[in-house]
Amino acid sequence: MLELGMRGELRATVDFSMTAAAIGSGSVEVLSTPYMIGMMEMAAIRAISGGLEPGQASVGTVVNVRHLAATPIGFEVTARAQLLEIDGRRLVFGVEAFDQSEQVGEGRHERFLIDFDRFMARALAKQRSSAG
């Protein structure tokens, strides 16, 4: 069962593959915004993983995040998410990220609860219809 206040966290040490230079979102060798956002999404998934019903999953639908400071290679970054709102199948999370020196990101993230099998059946039907 999902409950307000559920929390999740993800930690990683920044390496070159996580940088803006590596993924093409810039030329600097610091933690990229897309990678930070991905970590925030994973933290949100972890927050609710114990509360999902069998066959249920969630998909990201909205990301509104500010990247506040650069995190260099070798620094550890921690992303956290807290479930703030449950509106039917729409879930709203407060998300934030920190490195060992300061807060580096903050914002909101929304996810939508889905029936995994039905969702994948629709996606595969879309694929089949465009192949012919």
The yes-or-no answer on residue 67 being catalytic is yes
Q: Which of 3, 9, 29, 41 is catalytic?
A: 41
Give the separation between CA 40 and CA 36, rounded to whole angstroms. Answer: 6
Q: Which of 3, 29, 61, 67 is catalytic?
A: 67
The yes-or-no answer on residue 33 being catalytic is yes
Beta-ladder partners of 118? none
At 108, which helix (H) or strand (E)? strand 103-115
Q: Which of 29, 33, 78, 106 is catalytic?
A: 33
Give the separation between CA 132 and CA 126, rounded to whole angstroms. Answer: 11
Active site residues: 33, 41, 67
